[in-house]
Chains A and B, each alone.
Chain A
Amino acid sequence: MTAVLDYPQLKAALSKELPGIEIQADGSFLLVSPEDMHKVCERLTSLPSIQMDYLTNLTAADYSEYIEIIFHLNSITHNTSATVKTRLTDKKNPKMASVVDIWRGAELQEREIYDLFGVFFENHIGLKRIFLWEGFEGYPLRKDFVNGH
């Protein structure tokens, strides 16, 4: 069975690689600041002891103070899984670096998050609406969205 990684251990391994980056480890996930997310993701794939080579799921959730971006990662090599989260507190202009260059499968999922939550992913190869049509106003899965009709 796929084993969930021990988060304090994972945090220790990452902190050794990336000194000066603040990582919080919970019992069930790893919390990283959005500016450092790209670096952390890069290390998660490249470190031979971790090798999170498969992005199972990339999603978001709107808590009223912040938008949380949630990465569900799997390592096919080691048969392990991990959850990494980041919190975007600037709800007027939420943005973070795209991870398409690390996991190609993130392209559509980032477009979906942009479509429904309005999170801008910098350096994304073609960030535009995917489910809704061009010209739709607002981001419907945000808590403050009011339905038009």
Chain B
Amino acid sequence: MELNFEKPLSLLTLDEIDQQEGGVIQSFRTGHTSPYPDPADWLNGEEPPPGVFITSVEKVLNWSRHYSLWPVMFGLACCAIEMMCMAASRWDLARFGMDIFRASPRQADLMIVAGTLTWKMAPWLKRIYDQMPEPKWVLAMGACGTSGGLFRDSYSVVPGFNLVVPVDVYVPGCPPRPEALMRAIMDIHEKIDKTRILKR
């Protein structure tokens, strides 16, 4: 179920808006019970062979994507503090060309989902993921992202982000240290280097 825009939002009462939002969240929750398969077939893939014209184009594209990976802001909980830490001077994310955390999903390639995702937030995570242009990558940060962590059996927490979006790299830890997140970003780089134009 999506939001009903037959009536303008300004004409709805607060109760009606709450009812609509509740309907969206409830149907989202019942509709997302099995996880998306991990897009991990690149692990056994090979680097593009040199020499052919199309592979040269591929190399240039992959090189440019590799060194200008822009993340979208999605800090949800305490993991976001480690993520900010990694962006700050001590660990310095700018070394990877990831200077700016974009506030708009349309300018971003990578979504670092850092923190505990509740069912109330999940439809909007999915919406932001859908708004990102292809190609896009998702990094699930922390124990909550990989499995729900401490709150796995809770009434309000999504047990693993792969129920909502396909996740490329999982970073375990509660919260993971910035080094662990950096390693995950280097894994994403490795995946980008093996990307083929004709086959995604």
Contact = CB atoms under 8 A, between A and B. Distances in A.
Interface stretch (B17-25, B44-52, B74-82, B85-93): B17-25
Contacts of B154: 147
Nearest to B32: A149
Interface string A111-136: 00000000000000000110111111
A147 B15 contact: no
A136 B22 contact: yes
Given A128-B15, A128-B18, A133 B155 contact: no
A149 B18 contact: no
A148 interface: yes
Contact of A149 (B19, B23, B33, B120): B33
Interface of A, secondary structure class, is: loop
Contacts of A131: 120, 156
Contact of A145 (B22, B23, B155): B155
Contacts of A132: 120, 155-156
Contacts, number: 38
A134 B120 contact: no
B153 interface: yes
A142 B23 CA distance: 23
Given A128-B18, A149-B33, A133 B153 contact: no
A142 to B, nearest CB: 11
B25 A133 contact: yes
B33 A134 contact: no
Interface residues of B, number: 17
Contacts of A136: 22, 26
B15 A133 contact: no
A147 B153 contact: yes
B33 A133 contact: no
A127 to B, nearest CB: 12
Contact of B120 (A128, A133, A140): A133
A135 B23 contact: yes
Nearest to A116: B155
Contact of B21 (A134, A145, A147, A148): A134
Interface of B: 15, 18-19, 21-23, 25-26, 29, 33, 119-120, 153-156, 159
12 contacts: A128-B15, A129-B22, A131-B120, A131-B156, A132-B156, A133-B18, A134-B19, A134-B23, A135-B19, A147-B153, A147-B154, A149-B159
User: What 6 A-B pairs have minimum CB-CB distances, sorted nearest first?
Assistant: A134-B22, A140-B155, A133-B22, A135-B22, A135-B26, A133-B25
